[in-house]
Chain A
């Protein structure tokens, strides 16, 4: 059974460019979470969805960040325009309702 799938695994871009991260949750999981991990701040929840609906986006840093979940099997996290301080590892996780979360392998983003 495939786990959470994220793409790309690595992204290097220049400041000001748009970055789109993609996530495919585990089939049957109805909750999806986006996290950012840095050495300084650890693992931070950015936003999560239940049944494709955004429930809590209080962790989204600023308007440059946006996330969508158009259907149960796909979500995107977009940064526009990107800045060097956005460099981090971005994780997507999914879970059945109120159960444990399963993480994807992450996207390592470097903004130059």
Chain B
């Protein structure tokens, strides 16, 4: 199956700092998604990207669909304590199948 490499695996940052994480795939994707998972909950969609080069913001979050269609990144500006959680990238490839492939997650800790 598809391999999604997500980095970094974990981050410890001070409140107010910016955060950047990225995801790369072994093949071309048509869709990139970023989810956040809080402890004890299911992943919640943050941002969806559907076109190469697309840059989309959701509040302090910004994500981009890479030009090569094999990568995506997520930035969080001015982090706050409630940003703590696990962030997952996910993507849909060109096979036409409806399933998503998920990255291994980035565990974010924000130190007040």
Q: How far is the CA of A42 from the CA of B6 in the complex (A)?
A: 12
Residues A26-82 near B (CB distance < 8 A): 31, 33, 42-43, 45, 48, 50, 55-56
Looking at the complex, which of B38-46, B58-66, B70-78 is the stretch in contact with chain A? B38-46
How many residues of B sit at the interface, in one of the four size bands? 10 to 19
With a cutoff of 8 Å between Cβ atoms, the chain B residues found around residue A33 in the complex are 99-100
Q: Is the interface of A mostly helix, strand, loop or mixed?
A: strand
With a cutoff of 8 Å between Cβ atoms, the chain A residues found around residue B90 in the complex are 101
Flag if A56 contacts B42 (CB, 8 Å).
no
Q: How far is the CA of A50 from the CA of B88 in the complex (A)?
A: 24
Bitwise, A1-34 to B at CB < 8 A (1) or not (0) is 0001000000000000000000000000001010
Within 8 Å by CB of B43, from A45, A50, A95, A103, lies A103
- In whole Å, how far is A9's beta carbon from the nearest beta carbon of chain B? 9
Flag if A103 contacts B98 (CB, 8 Å).
no
